[in-house]
Structure 1
Amino acid sequence: MPEGDTVWQVARRLHLALAGKVLTRSDLRVPKYATADLTGRTVLDVTPRGKHLLTRIEGGLTLHSHLRMDGAWKVYGNGQRWSGGPTHQIRAILGTADGTAVGYRLPVLELLRTTDENRAIGHLGPDLLGPDWDPDKALENLLRDPGRPLGEALLDQRNLAGIGNVYKSELCFLLGVTPWLPVGDLPADRAAQLSALAKKLLEINRDRPARVTTGRRDQKLFVYGRTPRPCLRCRTPIRVANQGDASRERPTYWCPTCQSGPTPSRGAISFRTSPRRTTN
């Protein structure tokens, strides 16, 4: 699933392609909105909110979309061949005189009144890349359930919006704790660092084509997807296990030497060499 920095990049591409331009083509290929016609309306802006995309359109309308695991928005110039997938996977087409934005495999696509946006995104916590970012509120949200594993709490978009599975694993490594550590057991000094560090990671990557958390060119990530290669700091083999309930398990990576705290039972730990497709 794309994380906050990736969604921010998608929003920027869409904004540059659509904002301030009149729609000359509009095709929403979901039954509920199949008859909706947005042609003749001007696109006002495209704004990211956590992992959600809000395309605001003249007349008080917002096209809300979410990419989840496989969705994508592609922008094509006039005459350029569309290459985001087969035609039957297209869910939305927004065209202007200059080009076309095409939404593929969008699992969430709804047209709503701009005044009703809160119905779609009101549950989200402070956005790490948004103007509403509030580090104190984010930490307060995380600590509201002190017994919850840190990794699960970080993925809960109601606490803070924008972190996905990659940043969850990388952030826990940088804090020196395992993703299974109860949030309430996070040492005070590291709890104080958490919000600022999370924001820094997303901010430094929102303009990069490839995500980097290490500051190194040869190895971009500390732990995510690196099983069973050695830790960049201590050379201990990186480990991986699923975290979450059965319906939302995520492969979670950590270094057993550099990170302190609870870990899964030995039988739950695997040495899979590549992660499931969850980001980028």
Structure 2
Amino acid sequence: MPEGPSIILMKESLLPFTGQQVTEISGNAQFEKDSFVGQILLEIRTFGKQVIRIHLLMFGSYSIDEQTKPDKSLRLALFFSSGSIYFYTCSVKSVDLEYLSYIDWEADIMSDSWNPEKAKEKLKANPTMMVCDALMNQDIFSGVGNIIKNEVLFRIGVQPESPLGHLPPGKIKKLIEEARNYSFDFLKWKREFVLKKHWLVHTRSTCPVCGQKLIKKQTGAGKRRSFFCEKDQKLY
């Protein structure tokens, strides 16, 4: 699943199409597409797109002005007078305006509306949840993915299988702070094409602090890959 910073970059590439009229629409997404021809693309939001919601899932991608993948992967193509947008291997749904009122925009880790106090309350309400699951929970940290999860937990010195209820208040505070901090570091490094160079534990084999072999393990309810150091990260 593309993480929040990558979605921000996608939004930036699509922004030139805002205010333009859809002249043609195609793709194998199963909804009434013809009704969108002639519509104006009013806004692009990184928590979803209105009136079409696009979720990139695990392997979704997009391209601009050129179809780069075969028709079987093409879920939606929007054509404008100045160019075109193509979305592949993703979930595409048509939603009504009321849909936006149900989204908790304050959970978006990279949004100006981000509310750390609300995140703190959600964490407190789930004491048995593993911290690895909490970071990946899009209702708490929308935009956080597996890379950010692994790097944040290394930054704050916590093992992924630690239950939230066992973490000291100071660690909860650092968890919330670093989830946002690392997301913006991720965005900066991604723009500079140096993201992987800055990974400390994700897909790495040895700890950059003590040199000990890192543990690679599927953790949490989602069984996602975790990379962590048993010495420099504490199991609470």
Q: TM-score, normalised by structure 2?
A: 0.91
Amino acid at match of 2:150: S
Q: CA deviation at 1:31?
A: 2.6
The runs of 4+ residues in structure 1 deviating greater than 4 Å are none
Percent of pairs with identical residues:
23
Q: CA deviation at 1:156?
A: 1.1
- CA distance in 2 between partners of 1:32 and 1:43 (Å): 18
- CA distance in 2 between partners of 1:21 and 1:230 (Å): 50
1:12 maps to 12
> Which residue, 77, 81, 95 being the options, matches 1:97?
81
2:203 maps to 225
Q: CA deviation at 1:163?
A: 0.9
Q: CA deviation at 1:132?
A: 2.2
- CA distance in 1 between partners of 2:85 and 2:31 (Å): 20
Instruction: Please say if 1:38 is aligned against 2:36.
Output: yes
Q: CA deviation at 1:236?
A: 0.6
Change (3 A) 1:147 1:31: closer
> Which residue, 212, 220, 223 being the options, matches 1:249?
223
Is 2:130–2:220's contact at 8 Å kept on the other side of the alignment?
no
Ranges in structure 1 where 5+ consecutive residues have no aligned partner = 57-61, 263-280
Q: TM-score, normalised by structure 1?
A: 0.78
> Which residue, 55, 59, 64 being the options, matches 1:66?
55
Change (3 A) 1:201 1:159: same
SS at match of 1:93: strand
- CA distance in 1 between partners of 2:114 and 2:52 (Å): 23
Q: CA deviation at 1:32?
A: 2.8
1:82 maps to 67
SS at match of 1:184: helix
Q: How does 1:82-161 map to 2 (within 5 A)?
A: 82-83=67-68, 85-106=69-90, 108-118=91-101, 121=103, 126-161=107-142
* Deviation string, structure 1 residues 39-89 (Cα, Å, up to 9, x no partner): 22211111102xxx31x3xxxxx110100111112112xxxx421x21111
* Deviation string, structure 1 residues 80-131 (Cα, Å, up to 9, x no partner): x421x2111111011111111001111x211122222345x45x76111113
Amino acid at match of 1:95: F
Amino acid at match of 1:64: R
Instruction: Please say if 1:259 is aligned against 2:233.
Output: yes
